[in-house]
Structure 1
C-alpha cells in the first residue's frame, strides 16, 4: 500500500491548521480592544460583494437596515479591502461631518481619474484653502448673475430635445443639460465640437469611476483613465488660454467670469495666486462630476415622481404660471423669481430625502478615535448612509410617504440636526447647493409649464451603480400643454 499520499495529506492538513492558528493568534494579539461588534469577513473581499449586489438590486437600504438590526448602529465589517466601521443615526452623521479626526476617503480609482490635488483628498488647512477658492465662484452676488445664463441653456435644451417629441428618455437628457450648463458657467466653453467631444469623454470617464482599478486595455477603468486624460488636456488648454487673458488684464476681467477664470484671478495678501494650474484643473474635474450628477439625478426623479402625483404637479404648475404672468413674453427668469418657487424646492427636498443621489460615503480615521463607546483604529474606514435617517420613522413621520409639506417649516421641525443629509453637512457640506437649486428650479419651471407626461414602463424601479438610475433611463410619453402657449 502506498502511504505517501496519506502522509502528504496529513502534513498539509497539520500545516494548514498550524498556519491558521498562528494567523488567528497574531490577529487576536494585534486586533485593538473594544472594537464594534461584527465580522471583517473573508480577507480582501469582506462584505463588499454583498453590498454591491444589494445596491444593484435596489435593496442597499435593506442591507444596511438588516445589519443595524443584527449588530446595532455601530458595527465593524470590511469594504473594498479595508477594515470599516458602519455608523448610523443623526449623532453618527454629526460625528462624520464634524470630527477633525476623520478625513474624506474615496476609492483609489476615483483619485487616479480626478487627480491628486482635488478637494476630495485634502484635509485641514489645505481643504479650507481650496474650498474657500471654490466658494468665491459661488458667492450670492455671482449666483444671481448665473440665473439668466442657465435659463438660456434650459430654453435651448427644451426646444432641441423636448418640443415636437412624443416620447423622450429623461435621464440622458438631464445629464446632457447639466453638462451643458456646467460647461458654459464653469469653463466658459461655448456650444460646438469642443463641448461635444468633452461630453463624450466625460461619459466614458464616469463609466470606470468606481470600477476595480486594473489598468488593462479591456477594462472599464482603463477606458476611464484614457477619457480622463483627454478631458484633462481640454481643461489644461482652457486654463492656459484664460491664464493668458488674466495676466494680460492683470486680473479676472468681468462679473461673468467662469470658474477657471475666477480661480486664476484669486491671490493672497502677498499677491500670489491661491491655486496652482494643477489644482485648478483637478478641482474643475471634481466640479464637473459634482455639478453634473446630483442635479441631473434630482431632476430625473422629480419627473418620475410627478408622473404619478397629479396633485403635486398641479400645484407646481399653478406656482410657475403665476411667476410667468409677471414676466414679459420670452423674458428670462431672474434671481427674484426663484424665491417664489417655494413649493418646487420642497418637492426637490422631498425627492432628495426619498432618493438621495449619494447612497453614503467614507471617511478615514487619522488617529485612534472613539464613537458611541467603541474604538475606531487609525487607518480604518468609517462608512455612513443617508437613508438611515431619511427613512427613520422617529425622525420623519411615515417616511415612505412622499410629502413635500414636511419641509414647509423646518425651523419648527422636531428632526434633530444632521438628519436630512442629502448634501452632506459640516465643513464638507456640498458648496454647490445653491448652484444645484438654480439649475433645478429653472429647469422644472420650463418643463411643468409646457409639458405633461406619463411613464412608459409599468415597472417603476431604480438601481444604484453607485448612483440611482431609473429603469431604462426613465422613458416617458409627453404632450404639450396648450394653456402655456
Structure 2
C-alpha cells in the first residue's frame, strides 16, 4: 500500500505533463503575432531618435523596417503601437469608444493639469459634455468671432508689421493667435494681462513633447513650472469673473468662453468647479495656440516662396475686398468665397501638418493587420504615414492646391484634424483664423523670404529655425 505522503510525488509528473499539453494547445489554438519594432532604451525609449530624425523620417524608416501597417515603439515614457496609412487612420477613427478610448501621456497631463487630475481619464478631467463643445464651435456660433478676428488682425499688422521692412513671422503669428484666444475665450485685452499667460505658456509648449525627465534645467521641468504659473493666473481670472457675475458686474456674461463655462452645470445640476474650468481653458489654449500659429507661419512661407500661388490668393482676396465698403469687416459669406485660398491652406497642412497625430488607449485586445494589439497599450495615428505617401498623393513633395478641387483626396488620407467621433472640434475655428489673417496680410504686402531655404523643425509643431524672416513689399495705392 502506497503511503499517503507519496501520492503527490507520484502524481507530479502526470500533472506537469497535463500542464505542458494545455500550454501547447492554448498556444496552438490562439496564436499571438506580436508587434514588430523596438522599445529603444530604458526610460528614454526612442524619444531621442524621434527628435533627431524628425517625425516624418522616424515613421517612414520604421514602416520600411518593421511593417507598413503597424509597429511598436516607446515615446514620452509609454509603450505604443503606431498605426500607419489610410487603413490605420480609418481603423482608429472608426473604433473610437469601441476598441479604444481617448488618452494623453501622463507626462503631458503633469505639465498641463492640476496634480489632482493627473491620474484621471480625460473624460473626468474635461467634465464638459461634447454637446457643449459642439455648441460653441459650430459655424453659427463662430460667425460672431469673424469681426473680432478681422479687427485684431488689422490692429496686429498696424503695430507689428507695417512699421517694418522685415519681420519674423513665427513669433508674431504666436503673438496674434494667443492674443486672439485670450480675447475670445477670456475677454482679456490688456497686453500686460495677456503676457502673464503667454510667457509661461511658451515654456509649456516648448517642453511639452520633450523627453519627460523632470530635472532642473530640462525643457520638461520648465514646462511643468510654466504650467503651474498658467494655472495660477487662470484661477485668479476665473475667481474674479465668478465674483463679478455673482455681483452682476460682469458685462461679458454668456459671450466669451469663460462666462459660458461658469454658467454650465453637470448632469446633477451642479456648476463646474473652478479647477475643472481651468483644465478646459488650458485645453482650448493648447489647441488654438501652437498649431494655429504654426499653420499661419507655414502658409506665409509658401506664399513668399511661390509667387504664382501668391498671385492667385491675392487676386481672390482683392475681389472680396473690393466688394466691401471702407472698413467693413469680413463676414461668413466672405470666408465662403475664399475657395482657392482654403485649398492653399489645406495643401500647406498636408505638407507641413501642425499636429502630428493623436493618442488612444485600447480597451480590449484585438487583432489588426495580423498582429495582436493587447488591452491597455497606447496607440498613435500619424499624419506622416499618409500625407506624403505617393500612393495617395502623386509627387508628394510638390505644392499643388488643385489636389483639393472637386471631391479632393481619398478618405482617411488627409487627416490634419483627425477624423471620426474625435475629429478636432476646433477645425472651423482654425479655418476662420488662418483665412482672416491671410486676407489681411496679402491685401497689404507682397512677401519675400530673406532665407530662401530656411528649414522647419518639429517641436510641438513645425517651426522655422530662424523664425521665418520675410521682406514686406507694400502694395502701391
TM-score w.r.t. length of structure 2:
0.86
Hey, what's the Cα distance between the residues in 2 that align with 1:189 and 1:174? 18
Question: Unpaired runs of 5+ in structure 2?
Answer: 1-26
Cα offset for 1:446? 0.7
Alignment correspondent of 2:6? none
Does the 8 Å CA contact 2:207/2:219 hold for their aligned counterparts? yes
| 134 and 251 in structure 1: CA distance in 2 versus 1, 3 angstrom threshold | farther
Task: Name which of structure 1's ranges 213-222 and 415-424 shifts more when overlaid on structure 2.
Answer: 213-222
Cα offset for 1:111? 0.4
Alignment correspondent of 1:206? 205
Cα offset for 1:153? 0.8
Hey, what's the Cα distance between the residues in 2 that align with 1:451 and 1:53? 36
| 192 and 383 in structure 1: CA distance in 2 versus 1, 3 angstrom threshold | closer
Alignment correspondent of 2:107? 109
Task: Name which of structure 1's ranges 461-470 and 74-83 shifts more when overlaid on structure 2.
Answer: 74-83
Hey, what's the Cα distance between the residues in 2 that align with 1:47 and 1:211? 12
SS in structure 1 of the partner of residue 381 of structure 2: strand
2:443 to 428, 433, 449: 449
Alignment correspondent of 1:68? 63
1:392-424 residue CA offsets vs partner (Å, 9 max, x unmatched): 2222222221111111222xx4x4322111011
Hey, what's the Cα distance between the residues in 2 that align with 1:480 and 1:198? 33
Alignment correspondent of 2:300? 303
Does residue 313 of structure 2 align to residue 316 of structure 1? yes
SS in structure 2 of the partner of residue 472 of structure 1: coil
Hey, what's the Cα distance between the residues in 1 that align with 2:267 and 2:355? 37
Does the 8 Å CA contact 1:178/1:292 hold for their aligned counterparts? yes
Does the 8 Å CA contact 1:346/1:408 hold for their aligned counterparts? yes
Alignment correspondent of 1:13? none
Does the 8 Å CA contact 1:37/1:75 hold for their aligned counterparts? yes
Cα offset for 1:164? 2.3
Cα offset for 1:39? 3.4
Alignment correspondent of 2:10? none
Alignment correspondent of 2:356? 359
Cα offset for 1:262? 1.1
Alignment correspondent of 2:262? 264
SS in structure 2 of the partner of residue 398 of structure 1: coil
Hey, what's the Cα distance between the residues in 1 that align with 2:248 and 2:269? 15
Does residue 81 of structure 2 align to residue 82 of structure 1? no
SS in structure 2 of the partner of residue 164 of structure 1: coil
SS in structure 2 of the partner of residue 337 of structure 1: helix
Cα offset for 1:341? 1.0
SS in structure 1 of the partner of residue 235 of structure 2: helix
1:403 to 400, 403, 409: 400
Q: How does 1:79-478 map to 2 (within 5 A)?
A: 79-99=75-95, 100=97, 101-115=99-113, 122=121, 129-248=128-247, 257-267=255-265, 271-273=269-271, 275-410=272-407, 413=408, 415-478=409-472
| 444 and 189 in structure 1: CA distance in 2 versus 1, 3 angstrom threshold | same
RMSD: 2.6
Hey, what's the Cα distance between the residues in 1 that align with 2:273 and 2:124? 16
Cα offset for 1:124? 6.4
Question: Unpaired runs of 5+ in structure 1?
Answer: 1-28
SS in structure 2 of the partner of residue 473 of structure 1: coil
Cα offset for 1:91? 1.5
Does the 8 Å CA contact 2:205/2:460 hold for their aligned counterparts? no
Does the 8 Å CA contact 2:126/2:276 hold for their aligned counterparts? no
Cα offset for 1:270? 6.0
Hey, what's the Cα distance between the residues in 2 that align with 1:407 and 1:141? 25
Cα offset for 1:271? 4.2
Number of paired residues?
444
Q: How does 1:35-50 map to 2 (within 5 A)?
A: 35-50=34-49
SS in structure 1 of the partner of residue 466 of structure 2: helix
| 118 and 287 in structure 1: CA distance in 2 versus 1, 3 angstrom threshold | farther
| 162 and 120 in structure 1: CA distance in 2 versus 1, 3 angstrom threshold | farther
| 211 and 269 in structure 1: CA distance in 2 versus 1, 3 angstrom threshold | closer
